[in-house]
Structure 1
Amino acid sequence: MNVLVCFSSLKEFNTCFEDLSNELIYEIFDLLDFHHVYQAFDSLNARFYNLVTNSTLPIEVNLSSISKSTFERYNKDIILPNKHRIHSLHLSNPCLYDDISSPIHILSQFLHLKTLSLNNIESKHLEYLLPTLVSLPCLSSLSITSINIIVNRTAIYSQIIRLPALKYCSLSLKGSHYSEVPLPILDKYSPIEHLIIKHGISTNELYNLLSYIPQLHRLYVCYTLNSWTTYIKPSSFVLPYLTHVSLDLSSISFAVFEEMIIDIFHLVHVLHIFIRNNNDQMYINANRWKQLILSYMRNLRIFDIRHETWSRNITTNSQVILNTPTNKFTSSFWSERQWFFTQQFIQERDRNCTIFCSIDPYRRKYYTLCKQIHPSTCLNSKKTHLQSVQHLRIDNENEIIDCKYYFPNVTTLTLENSLSCTLIKSRSLSLTKIIEILRFTSYIRTLIFGSMPLYGVNYKSIQQNQTFQLVSNTNMITNVTFKQGCTLNKLQLFVALCPRIQYLTLGHDTEDLESIVRFLLKKRNENTSHLCSIRLVSTCPFFLTTLRTLIESETLLTDYILKKVDLEHALSAFDGDHLEHLELYSQTNISQTDYFDGKRWSKLFERFQKLTKCQIELRQKGRRGIYDNLLREFQRELKEIKELKEKWNMKCYRSCPGYHGTVVSVQISASL
């Protein structure tokens, strides 16, 4: 192995890597994922084996993209013998939580662990895991993302508050937004300084939680909701160190927000707020804001607001302008503080959006390029580098042309249906443009396709294209999702374009799954050598058996885990706090009686408060006797549960061929 070394004399020469000192090699190791160090150097020779296994340097363990067999070797050779060296542990593979040899079962022995990240964890694992964390004296950073419903989030909060050294905490706990069980009276206060809540939380729940975190400096709340129970606020508490606050206020009134400012947020220096489809006009009332800031927010330096109003009634530009009372945000009060604002009028598919927001986005991480029906009224017309944006969504390809923004640090790119021209329905998506985008966005790790027609594409010739080969050799994409399915030809093309793919998700319309699985698992397929997880959405229940038979009969894999999730589990994987468009389609010849439960549907829909479009069609066939009483009870529930009937328009039909037929076809539908 050779490496180029440069000195200040500007002389250059090649030296053998093995000749480098141990200290320099350790510095190189420190720049790499330790699992990659283990794979590359552990078996090289005796010296490097000792450097890897006998070092006293801290280890960061990332078990996100690792096969079962590789994990078993890594666990045996590195993790278990070096528990005292592990400072950081990241898990996101749901299958590893079920593995009896997984390090989560002995976490209390990782006494020097500082950072713990648990993604896609089920509630049953979280319940027994959290109490063990109290014994970790160095744990200062904790991130948790649940994959299914957490019935009692208060119990989770109570355990986290007890962690003695915790400074950073990020939580995304799926479940009912209205879980308002108060925290028990605790004799401890949390040392947390940075708190991120990525699930919906009521104002009562938030007050209660913050009363136990007096050292808090930074707070981010993804979705704040009005409380539905009468609540007595905890005795007066102060957050003297809280300087940065970011809130989604889409579901609470300005009056409630104003009360929160007076009670707990009056000392903040930096305020970021987001409001969508909230009818309270006080959020865009300049005088009301001025009064609040002068009276209670004297320390405020940065004021960042984004107010979106979506409408399905297509309006003219003049109508939008006349109905938007934002012109008073141009007075001297705002300009003296260097707070400037812009107004945008956007048309997306069959709806309009009026956006009022700060001109300087203050490190906003998400940005959407979509069709504008009116030029934005913005004072800044120069080309702008949006350094903070990490997730770029492109809704309309025409907005790429002459775009005044650059996104040098984007890591996630979402391409929606309207990337192809929405005015000419038959025009296909331009693969060339996708390749050009990827050519100049080398940091992208995640690629999501809303749809991918690609009509008329010559799959073989385009792979000989010089730009295609350049992008294939340089892009770092590891996660690809096709929301509406994929054909074998398309998949072969995109696997060639993204040969470092680790996670692949295929939507409900995917054709010829057996051929696709066979292609992905071929042992001689270099383009899929990094693939460690395949997720098939909305496949028929019996496909799991077919898939297992295929893998074993053709020996496609020798060491693997297949995991099936039901409808509720699948829905829990989505972020209900942000989901706007939900479509579910299923057709099977197997009776799935759990679908016929009105209360269960109500609980599921309760999570999706921001949906603007919903279409559900679930069809199944089964023996008539199974359904008779079940359907009668379900249809009665649909009449009694007002929300299912009026808001979600949920219905249940059945048909039975022939008067004495024994087979019945059933359809459940819902729409918004």
Structure 2
Amino acid sequence: MSGSTSDESAGASSKSTSSSSIHQPRQRMAQNYLLLWIDASMDEADKDCQDILAQLKNVVNEVHLCSQSDQCIQLVKQIDTERAFVITSGYFGQHLVPKIHARLSDESIWYTCLENLSNEVVYEIFEYLDGCDIYKSFSNLNIRLQNLIISSSLLLRIELDPLSKHLLEHHCQHVIIPNSHRILSLHLADYWKDQLLIDAFFNHCIIDSSFQRLESIMLKGIKTEKLLTTLFYLKFLPRLFSLTMYIKDYYYHDPGNIYPLIFSLPTLKYNRLSRSTHTREITIPHVINKKFSTIQYLIIDHTCTLNQLNSILHYTPQLRHLYCNPVIDSNEEFKNDLAMKLPHLKSLYIEQFYESFDEFEMFIKEISSPLQILNITVFWGKAYLDSNGWERLIKEYMPGLEKFYFHFNHMIHDDFTKDLIDLSNGFINQFNSPFWVERKWFREIRIDYENIDFSIHPYREEWIDLHEHMKSDHRIMQLIIMNNQFTELTWRFIKELKCASKAIHFTHLGIEDDSMCIHMLLDTLSSLPNIKSLKLSSPSIFPLKSLPIEDTENYRSVLAINKITKVKLGQVTEEQEEQQIQFFINLCPHIEYLGVDCMSDTDVPSLMKLILMNRRTRIPNLCYLCFIIPMADENMVRTLAMTIDSERVNDNYTIQRSGNKISVYWK
């Protein structure tokens, strides 16, 4: 007897979906809803139509456009169990709705007219739309919508890019300037080399104190001279909380004059400054009676040295989150006597750090911050791979650290292969003490083309931890091989690593490389006897038509020694799906978890039958099966439940769906 009938499984799916939607309503909606938009004047080539479609697809996953009512009705007739929305005008809807209602008696189609929606719902819809698009699309429909649009309760979000440059003057004169007191955010993107959108905007409009509700500004592609002028006016904005700037200069400018203007903004909480050109120096003018900034989130997306970073941080005692990329090496010693204490800093992210470990240690000591999150990427210095140094630094100066993300990235060269092997052994053997295990900070080696990355990261729930019976091993050690350019140099390094890996207890192997053949996979697995979980992003790469491989010494060796209990296969092809899955079932007889990413045309019921047959014979320990299906729905859940029941096996099971994932649990 099955533990849940198809009706029960549908209910389980519904509960699962509802639970998830509490935390991510837009994401869940995008997975489970269909939108039908019917309009006789629809022109998909029109720029405004394309913009609206792009915004709609942020809310729902699938949008169908119809220009005729019969076309819409045909789509409605094809709907089985999905929930769908139909968008149409009131006049068109008067004729369309009765036709739909005559053909559909259930409640899977909801219909109403925009004019009948409450003010609250209309305002919620407007939150997803650009303010200029709202005026263009809704201002001429009826008096009620006109009144809603001009109401002071509606705050506008304005986004302008080079494609809207030809309408810029109209937008400024008829939307932005008359409604400056209602604009919540203003984002200008001038990302094309020869476009002058931002210059043209400021020729028509000045951001001054009339923008009394403006909270967020993004200036993408602004020139330094224009930015300096603009920042002067921004200090008059009473509610400016977020400022993002991408400087587009094709020659050098010292950003040192920019930061004092940023720090003078009275209410700023978030600031990002990015620039495309290399910054050779930052000279912050010395101010005797300097005013400290209110900034709490600071992103420094341009080159600076540790001392230059220190100069900037002198103005930000309220800082809580700091991101820097990159921090480059300099010939100067770190001036710790000028260091600013940051008593509120919780997270520090340095994407590229080129200073020594000693310099980094001194910086951490001086800022005296109660860090909870540290994320750092380095490229040289064996001292960074000294676990004792890290343990001492964390215990003394970051005792509240909860999440530690560390990356040591190195190129693979012929001349340094032995050094890299030594680094690998040192990294793995040092970072396995109780200090690291208790904090659930895991080690990973990632080989990507001709780069190797040694990393440490916190435990994160992954596919191997999805079932309550799958207990996570907090001593997990991962080896990830990726990239589609698998060179001879990379393979030679892996062979060298394999010689040392018998003493290294790798427990997870991930293959994200579609150039690795089955021979290489078996050769790798034969030297990794402690692997418990295996993930392959593209099993279709393996030449499975010729299978004398099962008679090779490597295959027999892997079959005899492997302890793999969890297998996840990505993108199995329709042409060889059964062969692919059967191969890994034969290779891994201890499987408890099997996950399969299906293509849109995969015959999932046939795969289910194949797996059920093998569960009775080759893989009796299988207790969790997961299919990821692009078009998963309740009808598929019922079909798979019927497939299981038809096997007449007295097993208790539960089947449920969450989004595009259908899971089967055996008790």
Structure 2 length-normalised TM:
0.52
**Counterpart of 2:173 in structure 1: which amino acid?**
K
Partner of 2:453: 355
Query: Structure 1 residues 58 and 298 mapped into 2: Cα distance closer, same or farther (>3 Å)?
Result: same
Partner of 1:92: 189
Structure 1 position 81, deviation (Å) = 0.6
Looking at structure 1, the residues matched to 347 and 537 of structure 2 have their Cα atoms a distance apart, in angstroms, of 26
Describe the SS at the equivalent of 2:444. Answer: strand
Greater share of residues in helix:
2
**Counterpart of 1:120 in structure 2: which amino acid?**
G
Describe the SS at the equivalent of 1:291. Answer: helix
Structure 1 position 174, deviation (Å) = 4.3
Partner of 1:57: 154
- 1:342 paired with 2:444, answer yes
**Counterpart of 1:309 in structure 2: which amino acid?**
H
Looking at structure 1, the residues matched to 137 and 536 of structure 2 have their Cα atoms a distance apart, in angstroms, of 41
Partner of 2:22: none
- 1:208 paired with 2:339, answer no
What whole-Å deviation, never above 9, does each CA across 1:615-657 have from its counterpart, x for those lacking one? xxxxxxxxxxxxxxxxxxxxxxxxxxxxxxxxxxxxxxxxxxx
Structure 1: stretches of 5+ with no match in the other structure: 385-393, 408-418, 422-435, 438-465, 468-672
Describe the SS at the equivalent of 2:218. Answer: strand
Looking at structure 2, the residues matched to 236 and 13 of structure 1 have their Cα atoms a distance apart, in angstroms, of 61
Determine which of 516, 535, 538 is the counterpart of 1:404: 535
Looking at structure 2, the residues matched to 362 and 160 of structure 1 have their Cα atoms a distance apart, in angstroms, of 37
1:341–1:378 contact (8 Å) kept in structure 2? no
Partner of 1:637: none
Structure 1 position 236, deviation (Å) = 5.6
Looking at structure 2, the residues matched to 363 and 228 of structure 1 have their Cα atoms a distance apart, in angstroms, of 43
Determine which of 165, 183, 195 is the counterpart of 2:298: 195
Query: Structure 1 residues 16 and 378 mapped into 2: Cα distance closer, same or farther (>3 Å)?
Result: farther
Looking at structure 1, the residues matched to 213 and 481 of structure 2 have their Cα atoms a distance apart, in angstroms, of 42
Query: Structure 1 residues 57 and 382 mapped into 2: Cα distance closer, same or farther (>3 Å)?
Result: farther
- 1:165 paired with 2:267, answer yes
- 1:290 paired with 2:421, answer no
Q: How does 1:428-443 map to 2 (within 5 A)?
A: none
Structure 1 position 287, deviation (Å) = 1.6
Looking at structure 2, the residues matched to 47 and 329 of structure 1 have their Cα atoms a distance apart, in angstroms, of 66
1:224–1:247 contact (8 Å) kept in structure 2? yes
Partner of 1:263: 366
Question: Could you say what the CA RMSD is over the residues aligned between the two structures, in angstroms?
Answer: 3.9
Partner of 1:147: 248
Structure 1 position 187, deviation (Å) = 2.5
Partner of 2:422: 322
1:269–1:301 contact (8 Å) kept in structure 2? yes
Describe the SS at the equivalent of 1:70. Answer: helix
Query: Structure 1 residues 214 and 331 mapped into 2: Cα distance closer, same or farther (>3 Å)?
Result: same
- 1:128 paired with 2:229, answer yes
Looking at structure 1, the residues matched to 510 and 356 of structure 2 have their Cα atoms a distance apart, in angstroms, of 36
Describe the SS at the equivalent of 2:207. Answer: helix
- 1:78 paired with 2:178, answer no
Query: Structure 1 residues 128 and 405 mapped into 2: Cα distance closer, same or farther (>3 Å)?
Result: farther
Q: How does 1:611-622 map to 2 (within 5 A)?
A: none
Looking at structure 1, the residues matched to 336 and 392 of structure 2 have their Cα atoms a distance apart, in angstroms, of 25
Partner of 2:400: 299
2:303–2:325 contact (8 Å) kept in structure 1? yes
Looking at structure 1, the residues matched to 323 and 155 of structure 2 have their Cα atoms a distance apart, in angstroms, of 30
Looking at structure 2, the residues matched to 110 and 368 of structure 1 have their Cα atoms a distance apart, in angstroms, of 52
2:273–2:301 contact (8 Å) kept in structure 1? yes
Partner of 2:217: 116
Structure 1 position 108, deviation (Å) = 4.4
2:130–2:157 contact (8 Å) kept in structure 1? yes
Describe the SS at the equivalent of 2:435. Answer: helix
What whole-Å deviation, never above 9, does each CA across 1:211-253 have from its counterpart, x for those lacking one? 2111111111111123445675565642111111111353111
Looking at structure 1, the residues matched to 459 and 331 of structure 2 have their Cα atoms a distance apart, in angstroms, of 33
Determine which of 36, 39, 56 is the counterpart of 2:133: 36
Looking at structure 2, the residues matched to 232 and 98 of structure 1 have their Cα atoms a distance apart, in angstroms, of 40
2:263–2:293 contact (8 Å) kept in structure 1? yes
Query: Structure 1 residues 117 and 17 mapped into 2: Cα distance closer, same or farther (>3 Å)?
Result: same
**Counterpart of 1:41 in structure 2: which amino acid?**
F
User: Percent sequence identity over matched residues?
Assistant: 29
Partner of 2:281: 179
What whole-Å deviation, never above 9, does each CA across 1:246-271 have from its counterpart, x for those lacking one? 11353111110010011115421111
Q: How does 1:489-568 map to 2 (within 5 A)?
A: none
2:404–2:457 contact (8 Å) kept in structure 1? no
Describe the SS at the equivalent of 1:340. Answer: strand
Query: Structure 1 residues 323 and 237 mapped into 2: Cα distance closer, same or farther (>3 Å)?
Result: closer
How many residues end up aligned between the 2 structures?
393
Structure 1 position 103, deviation (Å) = 6.0
Query: Structure 1 residues 333 and 24 mapped into 2: Cα distance closer, same or farther (>3 Å)?
Result: closer
Larger relative contact order (Cα-Cα within 8 Å, sequence gap ≥ 6): 2
Structure 1 position 162, deviation (Å) = 0.7
Structure 1 position 293, deviation (Å) = 1.8
**Counterpart of 2:154 in structure 1: which amino acid?**
L
Structure 2: stretches of 5+ with no match in the other structure: 1-87, 463-479, 522-532, 544-570, 573-599, 602-667
Looking at structure 1, the residues matched to 280 and 328 of structure 2 have their Cα atoms a distance apart, in angstroms, of 8
Looking at structure 1, the residues matched to 412 and 291 of structure 2 have their Cα atoms a distance apart, in angstroms, of 48
Structure 1 position 112, deviation (Å) = 1.7
Structure 1 length-normalised TM:
0.52
Query: Structure 1 residues 11 and 306 mapped into 2: Cα distance closer, same or farther (>3 Å)?
Result: closer
Q: How does 1:271-282 map to 2 (within 5 A)?
A: 271-276=374-379, 278=380, 280-282=381-383
Partner of 2:609: none
Looking at structure 1, the residues matched to 224 and 481 of structure 2 have their Cα atoms a distance apart, in angstroms, of 33
Looking at structure 2, the residues matched to 19 and 112 of structure 1 have their Cα atoms a distance apart, in angstroms, of 29
Partner of 1:246: 349
**Counterpart of 2:136 in structure 1: which amino acid?**
Q
Query: Structure 1 residues 255 and 398 mapped into 2: Cα distance closer, same or farther (>3 Å)?
Result: same
Determine which of 156, 161, 184 is the counterpart of 2:258: 156
Describe the SS at the equivalent of 1:282. Answer: helix
